[in-house]
Amino acid sequence: MTLRRTTTVYLILAFATIASWFIGTEEADSHETLVGAVVITIAFVKLRLVGNHFMEIGNAPTPLRAVFETYVFGTLAVLLGLFLFM
């Protein structure tokens, strides 16, 4: 991975962290359920970025990438379902 790509992914992760903190603290009073769903989704986007770029799953064999992607999106779907409908 090139330095430019690493820096770009790092900046996206930092921005996502700050955005989720801001959304979670500033907007939580008015739209609790929506805010929670957005913060959970941001966390899983960050998980996918870290896995693909820093753990190099993006360069792994296709079956391993498929397992990782299925895990990320499946877990996100289950958590959002539990959060929104329970």
Which tens digit of pLDDT belongs to each residue from 33-79?
Answer: 888 899 999 999 999 999 999 999 989 999 999 999 999 999 999 99
Q: What is the model's pLDDT at position 57?
A: 94
Q: What is the mean pLDDT of residues 14-41?
A: 88
Q: Structurally, how many domains does the chain consist of?
A: 1
d(Cα 73, Cα 53) in Å, to the nearest integer? 17
Q: What is the model's pLDDT at position 39?
A: 93
Structure tokens at 26: 């500033």
Task: Mean pLDDT check: name the lowest of 4-8, 33-37, 81-85.
Answer: 33-37
Q: What is the model's pLDDT at position 41?
A: 96
**Residue 48, helix vs strand vs coil:** helix
**Which has more pLDDT, 28 or 43?**
43
Q: What is the model's pLDDT at position 66?
A: 96
Q: Domain of residue 46: give its range.
A: 3-85
Q: Quick one: CA dihedral 58, 64, 66, 72, positive or negative? A: negative
Buried b (16+ CB within 10 A) or exposed e, 50-82: ebbbeeebeeeeeeeeeebeeebeeebeebeee
